[in-house]
Amino acid sequence: MARLGKYYWPTYDLGKAVEWVKELITKRVDITDEAKIAGVLGHKAPRGGTFESKMTVLSRYGLIERKKRITDLAQRIVHLTGKEKFKAAQEAFYNIPLFKELDDRKAYRMNLEEFGKTLVAITGAPLGIAATKAKDIYEVYKESRSYVESLRPEEEGMRTLEKKEAPTPTSRPMTLKIIAEAIGLEQTFPLTTRTVEILKGLVPDAVLEEIKRRVEAMEAKTTEKSIG
């Protein structure tokens, strides 16, 4: 079992653990028969450090109760789809307290150096010890998180595991500068029919309609000048 301070961290990512438990479910392996489990997990016998590490990972994610059963959580991840599958995977991810602590500090946005310092702050482990384990923890955390995010329904977005609050409705029209900033531009952009095409799907429909209206107004003025 891998530990840093009082915190356990899994040596395998969640996606890999789900693959294992899915195979156990598909092959209807008796979870009390660890000799058969060992075979499914690629081992000749149910002993050795690697086998024990895999079993610990499955238990810590909440996918099995060792020598008892495959959990309902594992069944939900394997058999459900859409939002329910995502929520089940999210639950398994947060069964690792260290991952929850890291997410609370938005560690998914950090580089490795920042991540190492955050581990020290969370676990209280000496910097020298945390530094030797930071890369391995960073990789398994990011890979596990990526697995969960890959299951997030499109309508919920793909940014973070946290629930996003819906923006507060407002009747104040968005200015071009605000629109430009919303899509990552520093300056306002020229209004053309091409602008409308580019912004489809990037801004709310109401904003797009406002841009269309302005484009049409500008084109009408240009046409009037040409006729005159």
Pair (143, 199) in one structural domain: no
DSSP per-residue letters across 133-192 = HHHHHHHHHHHHHHHHHHTS-GGG-SS-SSPPPPPPP--SPPPHHHHHHHTT-SS-----
Question: Strand, helix or coil at 25?
Answer: helix
Give residue 211's pLDDT: 74
pTM (2 decimals)?
0.67
Pair (131, 196) in one structural domain: no
Does residue 162 lie within any of the structural domains?
no
Pair (111, 30) in one structural domain: yes
Pair (199, 136) in one structural domain: no
Pair (107, 41) in one structural domain: yes
Question: For residues 149 and 127, what is the distance between their CA atoms, to the nearest angstrom?
Answer: 30
Residue span of the structural domain in which 186 resides: 176-227
Question: For residues 148 and 36, what is the distance between their CA atoms, to the nearest angstrom?
Answer: 28
Pair (77, 136) in one structural domain: yes
Work out the burial of residue 64: count CB atoms within 10 Å of its CB; fewer than 13 is exposed, 13-18 middle, 19 or more buried.
buried
Q: pLDDT digit of tens for each residue in the chain (228 aa)? A: 589 999 999 999 999 999 999 999 999 999 999 999 999 999 989 988 999 999 999 999 999 999 899 999 999 999 999 999 999 999 999 999 999 999 999 999 999 999 999 999 999 999 889 999 999 999 999 999 999 999 998 766 544 455 444 444 443 444 555 455 444 443 445 556 666 666 666 656 766 677 777 777 776 766 555 455
Does residue 170 lie within any of the structural domains?
no
Does residue 161 lie within any of the structural domains?
no
Instruction: Report yes or no: 89 and 13 within 8 Å, Cβ to Cβ.
Output: no
Of 156, 190, 219, at which residue does a domain stop?
156
Give residue 55's pLDDT: 95
Pair (17, 49) in one structural domain: yes
Give residue 60's pLDDT: 97
Pair (35, 133) in one structural domain: yes
Pair (149, 216) in one structural domain: no
Give residue 200's pLDDT: 64
Instruction: Report yes or no: 188 and 180 within 8 Å, Cβ to Cβ.
Output: yes
Closest CA to 161 of 81, 85, 104: 104
Does residue 54 lie within any of the structural domains?
yes
Give residue 27's pLDDT: 94
Give residue 24's pLDDT: 95
Tokens of 28: 């209807």
Does residue 38 lie within any of the structural domains?
yes
Instruction: Report yes or no: 115 and 134 within 8 Å, Cβ to Cβ.
Output: yes
Does residue 164 lie within any of the structural domains?
no
